[in-house]
A = this chain, B = another copy of it.
Amino acid sequence: MRITIKDIARKSGVSSSTVSRVLTNHPSVDPKTREEVQKVIDRLGYRPSHIARGLVKGKIDIVALIIGDIRNPFYAELTRTIKEFLNKEGYMVVVCDSDYDPDKEEAYIRTADVYGFAGIIMITAMETETLLKQLKTINCPVVLLNRYLPSIETDFISVDNYTGGYLAGKHLLDLGHRNIAILAGHKNSSATYDRLNGFLDVFKQYNVNIDKERIVYGNLQWDSGYNFGKLLLNQYKDATAVFCGNDLMAIGLIEALNEYGKRVPEDFSIVGYDNNNIAPIVKLTTIHQPHLELGQAAAEVLLERMRGYKGAYKRIIFNPKLIVRKSTVSLI
């Protein structure tokens, strides 16, 4: 049924190798022959099989994008940017939700390999050694997003998490807040760690102490923030501000506080992280991560690698930015 290279060869009176050459833009084809063959291709609407081509090359033009959860608007934006770029370059992208679970992530990497995907972009949930070991067994380039791995042996694109935390902390301090609670991201994540350090460091600079008890780790989902609301009101009711590991949790927290009759920012100032597209709607003060640039850079670097670039591994770091909206207020 399917039109194959042989059909084109027969109809245009050349061998299939010649057809293959015009298909792949090989230089040594007589212009006339090329034209003839192309005409037949167009007339029959022939399109080469990616699978057959893939078998020869050992790779298929598909990229796996491994993220936490597509329902998180930040990832949706990122996905969109990456997809748009790679589609244009002739790659399809398979989106994989790890749910921040190293096991799922590992499974997806393995899958990408057995499917013969051409590349992987991932925001890893994994700890160092396991991932590094696995990366060595993979037959395609991998670009890491926003999670740092010491002794990294792959390209790495990120937003400066330390500075992000620092900006958030400084903002709250400048507004006069001294009693703070923190709903951080996943423990053991370098992003969480770096943001926390940046945040804590400004507090040290201002000689303000933060009780370690007031640092709680969430799962980056809405309900994590929502549930933190109860804790906040029971245990840390003297707090005047909360720094959240992402916007989704911040929004969940605000919702819970509202339900308990508390107001933001009058009763609590809240700072989020990501600047996802809900943040402007709910007027959330947050740290903007340039998702557009992030995605673009990741896609570009991966593309380069897939095209055979063998140079040293890159490390590209973007700057975060504080976006002040109406969820924070001055105490002074």
Q: Which residues of A contact B (CB under 8 A)?
A: 1-2, 47-52, 54-55, 58, 60, 62, 69-71, 73, 76-77, 79-80, 83-84, 87, 92-97, 110-111, 113-116, 139, 222, 251, 255, 277-278, 281-282
Taking a contact as CB atoms under 8 Å apart, the answer to whether A94 and B94 are in contact is yes
Number of copies of chain A assembled together: 2
Contacts of A71 in B (CB 8 A): 73, 76-77, 80, 277
Contact A114/B48 with A71-B277, A281-B255, A281-B282 known, Cβ cut-off 8 Å: yes
Taking a contact as CB atoms under 8 Å apart, the answer to whether A70 and B76 are in contact is yes
Shortest Cβ distance from A40 into chain B, in angstroms?
A: 17
- A282 and chain B: residue at smallest CB distance: B281
Other-chain residue from B58, B77, B83, B277 in contact with A95 (beta carbon distance below 8 A): B83
Contacts of A115 in B (CB 8 A): 50-51, 60, 62, 92
Taking a contact as CB atoms under 8 Å apart, the answer to whether B116 and A281 are in contact is no
Taking a contact as CB atoms under 8 Å apart, the answer to whether B62 and A70 are in contact is no
Given A51-B60, A62-B94, output 8 extra A-B contacts at Cβ < 8 Å. A1-B139, A47-B110, A51-B116, A70-B70, A70-B83, A95-B95, A281-B282, A282-B282
Other-chain residue from B51, B70, B251, B255 in contact with A54 (beta carbon distance below 8 A): B51
Contact A116/B50 with A58-B2, A62-B94, A95-B95 known, Cβ cut-off 8 Å: yes
Other-chain residue from B73, B97, B116 in contact with A73 (beta carbon distance below 8 A): B73
Contacts of A92 in B (CB 8 A): 94, 96, 111, 115
Other-chain residue from B62, B87, B281 in contact with A278 (beta carbon distance below 8 A): B281
Task: Give me 13 A-to-B residue pairs in the complex whose CB atoms sit less than 8 angstroms apart, sorted by A's number.
Answer: A2-B58, A47-B110, A48-B114, A51-B54, A54-B54, A71-B76, A71-B277, A73-B76, A84-B97, A92-B94, A92-B96, A93-B95, A255-B281
CA distance A45 to B255 in the complex (A): 48
Shortest Cβ distance from A300 into chain B, in angstroms?
A: 19
- A277 and chain B: residue at smallest CB distance: B71
- A107 and chain B: residue at smallest CB distance: B87
- A93 and chain B: residue at smallest CB distance: B94
CA distance A96 to B94 in the complex (A): 9
Contacts of A80 in B (CB 8 A): 69-71, 97
Contacts of A96 in B (CB 8 A): 83, 87, 92
CA distance A114 to B52 in the complex (A): 10
- A45 and chain B: residue at smallest CB distance: B137
- A79 and chain B: residue at smallest CB distance: B70
5 tightest Cβ-Cβ pairs between the two chains A and B: A51-B54, A47-B114, A51-B116, A50-B115, A92-B94
Shortest Cβ distance from A299 into chain B, in angstroms?
A: 15
